[in-house]
Structure 1
């Protein structure tokens, strides 16, 4: 099993400042992030939430061609029957654990982009994830695609792009600008300190301007601490440094994190607080399913589904939240044929999901054929840069050609 760590991927990614990224780059605490909020979110600005599924999610058992006899033959006991999947049409259905996604599909708020990959796919986690995060299939480049977007913005605001976790992924590192990494698990203020800060925050209007500013800062600190920290003792292990993903789990983490719901909770709080962030990065690991795949992937997809459904249901209650767009991708799919260990090995193309209120739901791109394979792998039918170009233009209001080395072909899903 090809197991590797998030930190190892960061330091070998080839992106400028890889070591700095692994060390945390511009590291912020949750309290610090939320305290930057205006309290009055810009309702005209859309927000991108990028979800990375590390390890290579099996696309054929996520968007399942259950009606295809070739799928049944190739997958054997790993295959789902037509009566098990959540039917979407065209002989395809979602994994049984993705009921929230099916609801979004029925509401026409889920776009399924089929057969997504890049030219000349690579089976290496390192190389493939490096290509996805830099959007450069032709060769290494010193910046991530959202990092170049940050460079292009030109305002130097590190909070415009935020990754939730201990480390900043290469996709958020530009050549002149980098996003911020926001750790989970910040501790709340002790009661005595909170009472002291509250008392010192009461400053008269006739006080010196610096004293009034200090009072305001103390008031903000106590407000944020009370609003966003639970009374329970926080977990001392940051999700950016994964637990042993193999404990009770046949899928290796391959560099991803756990606790996606906690990461999305941070994003929701930041959106509600009116911070300046336009793009967030979160992740879920465990998808490197070389053995006993069915139960592991089903559990992971069920967690993904419930966490995303809960997140979107929460943010759609606000005007700014109704402009949130979530995109879900993995570095590659798996091979069509099951292996001897009731798992699947590294493959090529897979589906990308784009969901949210602004999304025009439906199928985009052609479903790869199971009878027209290349070296026993699925053919790519949609260039991954089409997805990125769509998100850059439709969510981040940016000319994609300036970020993607001239690539500006988009999909009609926004």
Structure 2
């Protein structure tokens, strides 16, 4: 392997993108369970699960205004007919793939927050997701909203855990980052342990960020050597489609940790593929079927667990899609969309004004609910913390908890 300059490598890795991808301690299920035995989470502690739908989910074909003629006028071949949707209140229904979420609605455990977005919305995937994850629409910032909560709420590295090998920007703070948990941790290539050993050596000139990256290299090598026998064990099979198997596996990891009483208050999972510019109907159906197939058994497990009954799950995407279908039977990048909140402590129902399908801004839905108000309520009611360090002043609760 070519010789690398250690300081150059660390400096490059310590940038915002590098921190999001590399920083934060890697943990394994045995370590999580050991912490649960040593320091179990009090059973009345709120737990937040954040499920990100990457790509811009089409909110209008997820929560469907099936009695609005403007919906059918804008989407002649893409719209779902009234006879196909899952009727919620006589005017709005769920996509037919979301049978499990419909059951949560009937149990008053699903809140649908309508028209969620932010001022002067950006249709770029990267910028819009950056805004959602940092909760900073006006000024780019290097810290995420969960990262800022971590910075202000203590020093336990397991307070927030991302399921997967790459930390999202929301999980990165100025001082703290979430831990990362994977069902399997890939074995290092044969020539990498020596490189990581050299890169991990202490250097008095390291900045705090560089020291954090160095510590992560050391942790990764230790885990690779020590926990291989545990992490090679397969998870139980799931009933999810192949497309959603990863999400189902990830939620199964979350469920195991929650039931065990692991002292984690925030879990982050994701499902990608929602950038449906063409042939959307079939592709989104597969994705929503995968989502429903993964989330439904998770919700059932949570209902049957004392810890799980304290879990609140938020499902969101970086933006919705445009009201009108495009020429390839898909939809292009839009603005606001629905946010779904699930859990035993949720007050089911609709929240926020439904955006008009005819009073548009540049062909897009107008925002009626600021996403930071959603975060404000989750931070206040579920995590029991002052929301201002994470979302700024002047936000308000919506009332879904």
After TM superposition, the score normalised by the length of structure 1 is 0.79
Runs of 4+ in 1 over 3 A off after TM superposition: 228-233
| Secondary structure of 1:89 counterpart | coil
| Secondary structure of 1:20 counterpart | helix
Cα distance in 2 for partners of 1:128, 1:230 equals 36
Query: Which residue number corresponds to residue 206 of structure 2?
Result: none
- Residues 258 and 308, structure 2, Cα contact 8 Å, conserved in 1: yes
State whether structure 2 residue 16 is matched by structure 1 residue 20. Answer: no
- Residues 23 and 177, structure 2, Cα contact 8 Å, conserved in 1: no
* Count of residues in correspondence between the two structures: 344
**Residue of structure 2 aligned with 1:341, choices 325, 328, 339:** 328
| Secondary structure of 2:75 counterpart | helix
State whether structure 2 residue 131 is matched by structure 1 residue 131. Answer: yes
State whether structure 2 residue 297 is matched by structure 1 residue 297. Answer: no
Query: Which residue number corresponds to residue 191 of structure 1?
Result: none
> Structure 2, unaligned stretches of length 5 or more?
1-13, 187-225
- Residues 245 and 294, structure 2, Cα contact 8 Å, conserved in 1: no
Cα distance in 1 for partners of 2:279, 2:319 equals 19
| Secondary structure of 1:355 counterpart | strand
Cα distance in 2 for partners of 1:130, 1:306 equals 28
Cα 1:174–1:290, aligned 2, differ >3 Å: closer, same or farther? same
State whether structure 2 residue 69 is matched by structure 1 residue 42. Answer: no
State whether structure 2 residue 319 is matched by structure 1 residue 332. Answer: yes
State whether structure 2 residue 303 is matched by structure 1 residue 308. Answer: no
| Secondary structure of 2:376 counterpart | helix
Tell me how large the CA RMSD over aligned residues is: 2.4
State whether structure 2 residue 389 is matched by structure 1 residue 390. Answer: no
Shift of 1:159: 0.9
**Residue of structure 2 aligned with 1:273, choices 256, 260, 266:** 260
CA deviation map 1:234-267 (0-9, x unaligned): xxxxxxxxxxxxxx99xxxxxxx97110110110
Please list, as runs of the form range in 1=range in 2, the aligned pairs for 1:132-147 lying within 5 A after superposition.
132-147=132-147
Shift of 1:165: 0.3
> Structure 1, unaligned stretches of length 5 or more?
1-14, 188-220, 234-247, 250-256
State whether structure 2 residue 348 is matched by structure 1 residue 361. Answer: yes
- Residues 172 and 178, structure 1, Cα contact 8 Å, conserved in 2: yes
| Secondary structure of 1:370 counterpart | coil
Cα distance in 2 for partners of 1:147, 1:306 equals 30
Cα distance in 1 for partners of 2:400, 2:394 equals 17
Please list, as runs of the form range in 1=range in 2, the aligned pairs for 1:184-203 lying within 5 A after superposition.
184-186=183-185
Shift of 1:25: 3.1
Cα 1:158–1:369, aligned 2, differ >3 Å: closer, same or farther? same
**Residue of structure 2 aligned with 1:229, choices 229, 233, 238:** 233
Shift of 1:156: 1.4
Query: Which residue number corresponds to residue 6 of structure 2?
Result: none
CA deviation map 1:288-346 (0-9, x unaligned): 00000001101111111121110010122111110100000000000000001110000
- Residues 51 and 326, structure 1, Cα contact 8 Å, conserved in 2: yes
Shift of 1:229: 3.4
| Secondary structure of 2:72 counterpart | helix
